[in-house]
A and B are shown apart, each in its own frame.
Chain A
């Protein structure tokens, strides 16, 4: 038997994971007012940038002579001459320099951001921060959704037993059998078309027209239908919110399958425990048994699987964003940032920081979540 005290200690990976997670959450969420706030040009900061500032490397990154020449050329000529003179160089020499005090002085002139800029000159640091908030929110919300569905579904199956259990679990088996990307895409597309129908009201008009019979000319009927059912308008932000909600439902809707199986098994074994029979002998109703006696005992395993579902959901979100059906642009997420950045890798002049920053953040967060989830699992699931 293991020493119980050992189970209560968190290992180094779990502690490091907690620190990373805490930092990621605090940084990304505390910076939301800044990243979403409007910058000097009136655009929100995450979407603000000039093409002239495109693909600036991070402050600390070494640059090639080619890049140096392009970037140093951004310094106004008067200022360039001034700096060149103070370092005893000609302006031509100064604009080609990649290292040394002159290069540092020049760099101070063109560097704007700590993490460089993307292809549209937007600050990568700001976008990574907001992308983190979006990714974490999508991950947590989708995990919550899958926990709610999975727990209730699995608990119902395990508690009811018999043919209902069989039916519910066969549905899960079928859903398991389908490739999840297909499911997510189908759900996302279905959600999108529902929103589209709500906006354009094509179906309502068509059914109205067909209900009118053949009395009036078709064109008049169509006009009348358009008057009765005018298309609705959906503002940009609410449209994006709806797209996000669809994404959430799509990811949450497919990631509850394993949780429901785990919960079903737990409920089936809990049902046999004497304390449930004792509670029944006390006259507890099935409802009370379920919520007061079964649910609290499920909390441990459910929490563990929830922590393991968050990275899964984040990864799925990133993957879908990577495929272009995830978070709608220009709102960034770590997945879409990485996808964008990957397009900037080429043999001529690579902006390697564009995929690296969101990729590293994503990797660190996922690892941290997995370490924490694993530690919780060891402690609670026996």
Chain B
């Protein structure tokens, strides 16, 4: 397999440079060949169906893989001026823990259960500030109030003493975003942050993430199965299928003109105002490889197929895997 950088046209050096990331569980590769760059102030979306290895890749970066799962490849997290660059794969657990929350943070899919039910919001937020910024109890409370205000939770100082069950799902996800940002990390991984939320709340949470990204210069990795939803909030897209990337490129280009049949299916499986009265695409409706061949000039590579894959550069910063 030959891998080239997923994106080369970034003017600044990336915050996180992932090359050939793989995860093996019990000798079976569940993720392989994942490469991408995360740059400051930009969002990279990793898109794919359930089980496509998106979350596994994210957990490998966080050092939170379940026991028995072994990561491989390389992921270099750029250091801040005073700090060294860190290779995340194979990093000592103790060092990895000091990075988590402080330079690399993650928010999870389930806002309903990702907060400790017996601690108040203020305690949990304050704990993160005490942990990472070394603030005193009173200072951390003030910081927690400010953090809640920054994620647009109304009446933040009063809500600090509330317990998670007194918050709605959307508000909880905002709290979780505030917690993830409390250690002022440079890279934020959002693992399906809107999946468990009502459709009406999704845009709000994604807008909040975008706003925080631009104001803090965060590099965001947005993991989702909903290509349409994330495309509007992402600069780059990496499409994964069965543990392998199949297509990468600028979000608008990938959405407008999907090259890999699987990407086409992801785009086509969503209801659309312009395609009334048509049946939505499913995986079994995938266009035959032959139909894509004239466009690509090569056969698209399916991760389930044996044989090596190759990144075919299609356009500036745009790649698709071919046989």
Using a CB–CB distance below 8 Å, which chain A residues touch chain B? 161-162, 273-275, 277-285, 288, 292-293, 296-297, 299
B128 in the interface (beta carbon within 8 A): yes
Of A278, A285, A288, A293, chain B has the most CB atoms within 10 Å of the CB of A278
Assess the A284–B131 pair: CB atoms within 8 A: yes
Query: Residue of A at shortest CB range from B98?
Result: A283
Could you write out 10 A-B pairs with CB less than 8 Å apart?
A: A162-B67, A274-B108, A275-B115, A275-B116, A278-B106, A282-B127, A283-B102, A283-B131, A292-B127, A296-B118
Assess the B118–A283 pair: CB atoms within 8 A: no
Q: A281-B100, A283-B99, A283-B131 are in contact. Are A297 and B117 (CB under 8 A)?
A: yes
Assess the B115–A278 pair: CB atoms within 8 A: yes
Residue of A280, A283, A285, A293 near B116 (CB, 8 A) is: A293
Q: Which residues of A contact B105 (CB under 8 A)?
A: 281-282
Q: Which residues of A contact B101 (CB under 8 A)?
A: 281-284
**What's the Cα separation between A297 and B118 when bound, in Å?**
6
Assess the A283–B110 pair: CB atoms within 8 A: no
- Count how many pairs of residues, one from A and one from B, have CB atoms less than 8 Å apart in the complex: 69
Assess the B64–A274 pair: CB atoms within 8 A: no
Using a CB–CB distance below 8 Å, which chain B residues touch chain A? 62, 64, 67, 97-102, 105-110, 113-119, 127-128, 131-132, 176, 179-180, 182-183
Assess the B115–A281 pair: CB atoms within 8 A: no
Q: Which residues of B contact A292 (CB under 8 A)?
A: 119, 127
**What's the Cα separation between A332 and B119 when bound, in Å?**
45
Assess the A282–B100 pair: CB atoms within 8 A: yes
Of A273, A278, A281, A299, chain B has the most CB atoms within 10 Å of the CB of A281
**What's the Cα separation between A278 and B179 when bound, in Å?**
10
Residue of B108, B132, B179 near A277 (CB, 8 A) is: B108
Beyond known contacts A281-B62, A282-B179: 6 more, CB 8 A cutoff: A281-B106, A283-B132, A284-B127, A292-B127, A297-B118, A299-B118
Assess the A278–B108 pair: CB atoms within 8 A: yes
Output the least CB separation between B88 and chain A (Å). 14
Assess the A280–B100 pair: CB atoms within 8 A: yes
**What's the Cα separation between A261 and B113 when bound, in Å?**
25
Query: Residue of A at shortest CB range from B113?
Result: A274
Output the least CB separation between B156 and chain A (Å). 19
Q: Which residues of A contact B119 (CB under 8 A)?
A: 292-293, 296
Q: Which residues of A contact B116 (CB under 8 A)?
A: 275, 279, 293, 296-297
**What's the Cα separation between A281 and B101 when bound, in Å?**
6
Output the least CB separation between B238 and chain A (Å). 21
Assess the B131–A280 pair: CB atoms within 8 A: no
Assess the B106–A283 pair: CB atoms within 8 A: no
In the complex, the 9 A-B pairs of residues with the closest C-beta atoms, listed nearest first: A283-B101, A283-B100, A281-B106, A278-B114, A282-B101, A274-B114, A296-B118, A274-B113, A275-B116
**What's the Cα separation between A162 and B66 when bound, in Å?**
13
